[in-house]
Structure 1
């Protein structure tokens, strides 16, 4: 179910670094120490997304990974988009901890 704007704004405040675009997407850029670290991130979030049957747009630009989330059926953002955003952030933190940052 598509979230009302007030709830989108409330949930957006709880996910670090995610930006609202076109009133129907949340987007975040993740930077990595090297290319393969970014690819590992993509692999892990792909598994999470597949298990949730909810797939983001992912752009790989060397060490910069951009992720865009929205819900096609709802024609906008849902709670699941924000749940996945938090899970992706958790994966990012785990990977970054592994490289000593």
Structure 2
């Protein structure tokens, strides 16, 4: 179920580095020490995303990985988007 604007703003306050984009996406940039570390991060979050069949847009710019997520069926953001964002952050923290 799609979240209201107020719910999105509330959840974003708890999410470090995540930003609202075009009122229907949340996005975050992750920086890595080297290219292959960033690629490993992408591999790990792709596996997590595949498990629940909820896939983000991922952009690889050398050592900078940008992740953008939304729920197509809901035409906006859902709790699942924020749950996935937290999982991606957990992967990043373990890799630091």
When the two structures are superposed, what TM-score results if normalisation uses the length of structure 2? 0.99
Distance in 2 separating the partners of 1:11 and 1:49: 20
- Specify the alignment match of 2:45 in structure 1: 45
SS at 2:27's partner residue? strand
- Specify the alignment match of 2:17 in structure 1: 17
Distance in 1 separating the partners of 2:71 and 2:3: 10
- Specify the alignment match of 1:99 in structure 2: none
Q: CA RMSD, aligned part only?
A: 0.4
Which runs of at least 4 in structure 1 moved beyond 3 Å after TM superposition? none
Distance in 2 separating the partners of 1:27 and 1:14: 14
Question: Does residue 94 of structure 1 match 2:91?
Answer: no
**Unpaired runs of 5+ in structure 1?**
97-101
